[in-house]
Structure 1
Amino acid sequence: MLHVSCSGSPYEIGRQHGEQASSQVYGSIAFYDDYFKRKTGKSWPEVQEVAKQFLPYLTSTWPSYLEEVRGIADGAGVPFESILALNVRTEIGFGMLNDGCTAFAWKTKTASFIAQNWDWEGQQKDNIMCVRVVQKDKPTIHMMTEAGIIGKIGMNSAGVGVTLNAIAAKGVSFDKLPCHFALRIVLESTSLQEAKQKLNKAGLASACHITVADAETGSIGFENTAVDQIELHMKDGLNMHTNHITVQRPGVEDKGMLADSPFRLERIEELLKSAGPEPSMQQLRDILKDDKNSPCAINRSPTEKATIQTLFSIVMDLQNRCAVVKMGRPTEGGEELELRP
């Protein structure tokens, strides 16, 4: 597992990312080149052209993120358009990416947790990295991401955490915020309320679900499509999501990419409600080990027909500003690490 620490200006942060993770960045590009070819029929130059359609919006609204993208490209010695494509991979997929993840947040009287299993193609596991980002006048970020991508799953020094679930609903809007840029915006926020205001204002470019939580107020789930954003508020302190639309609305068609998604949502609710009023970090880690309905369980394992599997498990304790990450399936002997932004 590669650990990267970056600081300075947006360009300097990106360049350090690219220099320290150059082989993993190449690995990410190679993986998505092959993936998009198989899933969409697009060549990598065609993928880059799709990505470039976001440039007018991002240049006018989020130029610092483009500077970081440029820094990664220069540091790794790859084209700017390739790193841009990695960061808009959800949108390029036009709702066809099938990351299968189970996520939840839990605010109790004494604690605030946010957690998930991140499930994706096993070929990408060697390109996952742990990144710490230190910026002037912003919270320090500690996150798990794919090499070359500036925002993903993690937490910050202000006690804000974020998780991601893919949703297979068609459509993309090139004048809204791509999913992985939205995750970075959350990670730069000082509270749930600040993150909510930013996400509401920007809107998201494609379908995904983002759970945002902080240490003090709890969590909100943002169920996004290219045309709207629905907020899912806590019930008894809980928020949970898998990989399907849970609030039906006109004009939004869920392709139902993973048939087990409704089962996993019901199962995680069952497990959380039986955990007692004040769960421990270890209890929540154990919940993410659940194998019921294997191989299509919360703790997902690959099959001959489907190579999607749990690539890491993370539980974040927002009040204590720490997280525990287990690489691979949480029932197996993968590397374990802590995040402390």
Structure 2
Amino acid sequence: MSLPLPPPPPYIALSGSPREIGLEHGKQLAVQIQRQIQVYTDMFQRTSNLDWPAVRDISIAYQKTLQSLTPEIYEEIEGIAEGAGLDVLDIVALNVRSEMALGLFSDGCTSLGWKLPGSGDVILAQNWDWTPRVQENMAMMSIDQPGHPKIYMMTEAGIVGKIGFNSASVGVCLNALRAHPTDSSKLPIHIALRICLNSPSAKQALDRIIALGGVASAQHILIADQAGALAMELSPLGNKFIHPNEHGYVTHTNHFVGGAPQGIVEPHWPGVASQERLARIDTLMETLVGGGKVHEGAIRDTLRSRLFADTDNAPAAICCMENPAKPVETRSRTLFCIAMKFSASGESPSAEVVWGNDFVGSKAGILHMPWV
């Protein structure tokens, strides 16, 4: 049975030094962070028989990596822990949850990057599918920090990098990949997302990730700026990159589309239907592009109603529904749809977010980033 949709997420505006940003994050979202720890305690116990102290122990290796590779981000994590009244390893564990017990969760997201043929504007969009138990613990967050563009993102409480964009028109979407091995000496994926959001261009974001040694687990980041989108299939053993097709768009779900790098093992991911969703969104895009002129003024509405609301092959559809056959700790559904826009004419970047998975008649309406 699906859980009722909670109220829209809070708007959290953070600014200052890394420690100041972290402290305010922890103070404002302390209750949500505590709930997140319980969600992941239950999830790790169900999927891998790990209690929270064991999860924290695993996090120690990643803590050392963060201290070494990204000391400013680690300082922010320390601030979150202090503000929330928790041990720093609790917050490290939340930020590396994708690297632990990888592949045992029923994650499944569908993403699209598209440079529109008329205006040259770039659209970056995705459905984010995850356990409904985290929905009450999410926030729409802005981060204003010296030396970096201003960030706007949808994130889980306690996590420093997620889905969103910055004032330099660099945006990111995330698709989990189920693959092994992991490497705790490299960047956790949520830290890599924050590095992207700290960057003034997509190229500089990728250059920075590579300069720091790459990522700790196999994941896909769909990154875009005003020049267009790039699908980055990242892993600790090498990376693959997929450029937009002749129509200017690239799509992705939850498997290596470009083929797994040598040494990466990608088991079958039952119940996620990644190949089927990728084929479906490609079919829908072909129909949209082949239908003649794209009405760019309402393109985000069109994508929501014609692509991201699609329920073909439910429950494992582009618009994901909960599967009641799965344990409640590992069920997924679409929690929100985000559509970002980066203008070729110099207009400020923006995003529209539908909270929940009722894209046509959402009672919550459309949320906006930036917000007033």
Q: What range is the shorter-chain TM-score in?
A: over 0.9
Q: Which amino acid aligns with 2:188?
A: P
CA change 1:334–1:32 in 2 (3 A) is farther
Q: Which runs of 5+ in 1 are unaligned?
A: none
What residue in structure 1 maps to residue 36 of structure 2? 28
- In structure 1, the partner of 2:210 is 200
- The alignment status of 1:310 with 2:334, answered yes or no, reads yes
Q: Distance in 2 between matches of 1:201 and 1:2?
A: 35
Moved over 6 A (4+): none
Aligned to 1:116: 126
Please say if 1:269 is aligned against 2:282.
yes
2:3 — aligned with what? Answer: none
- Structure 1 residue identity aligned to 2:22: G
- 1:284 equivalenced with 2:303 (yes/no): yes
Secondary structure in 2 matching 1:113: strand
Match among 336, 347, 350 for residue 322 of structure 1: 350
Q: TM-score, normalised by structure 2?
A: 0.88
Q: Give the letter for the 1:295 counterpart.
A: P
Q: Distance in 2 between matches of 1:76 and 1:126?
A: 17
| CA distance, structure 2, for counterparts of residue 115 and residue 50 of structure 1 | 33
Task: Indicate the larger mover: 118-127 or 196-205.
Answer: 196-205
3-state DSSP of counterpart to 1:185: helix
Secondary structure, in 3 states, of the residue corresponding to 1:143?
strand
2:286 & 2:26 partners in 1: Cα distance? 43
Q: Is the 8 A contact 2:45 2:51 kept in 1?
A: yes
Number of aligned positions between the proteins: 340
Matched, 1:184 2:208: no
Deviation at 1:334, TM superposition (A): 4.6
CA shift for structure 1 position 93: 2.2
Q: For residue 133 of structure 1, give the secondary structure of its aligned residue in structure 2.
A: strand
- 1:171 pairs with 2:181: yes
Say whether the 8 Å CA contact 2:128–2:337 is kept in structure 1. yes
**Is the CA contact (8 Å cut-off) linking 1:288 and 1:330 kept in structure 2?**
no
- The answer to whether structure 1 residue 78 and structure 2 residue 97 are counterparts is no
1:169-196 Cα deviation digits (max 9, x unpaired): 0211111110000000011111111112
Aligned to 1:339: 369
The DSSP-based 3-state class of the residue aligned with 1:54 is helix
Question: How far apart, CA to CA, are the structure 1 residues paired with 2:363 and 2:257?
Answer: 33
CA contact (8 A) 1:105 1:112 kept: yes
Q: Relative to 1, partners in 2 of residues 1:334 and 1:182: Cα closer, same or farther, differing over 3 Å?
A: farther
Task: Return closer, same or farther for 1:259/1:7 CA change in 2, 3 Å cut-off.
Answer: closer
- In structure 2, the CA distance between the partners of 1:229 and 1:144, relative to structure 1 (3 Å rule), is same
1:40-51 aligned at under 5 Å gives the runs: 40-51=48-59
Query: Is 2:101 the partner of 1:93?
Result: yes
1:134 paired residue number: 144
In structure 2, the partner of 1:241 is 252
TM-score by length of 1: 0.96
Q: 1:200 and 1:238 mapped to 2: Cα distance?
A: 24
**Native 8 Å contact 2:108 2:272 kept in 1:** no
Shift of 1:2: 1.4
Identity, % of aligned pairs?
37
Asked whether the equivalents of residues 61 and 185 of structure 2 are also in contact (C-alpha less than 8 Å), the reply is: no
Offset from partner CA, 1:107-165 (integer Å, 9 cap, x none)? 12411010000001111111111111001121100000100000000011111110000
Shift of 1:259: 4.4
**Equivalent residue number for residue 255 of structure 1:** 267
**Match of residue 148 from structure 1:** 158
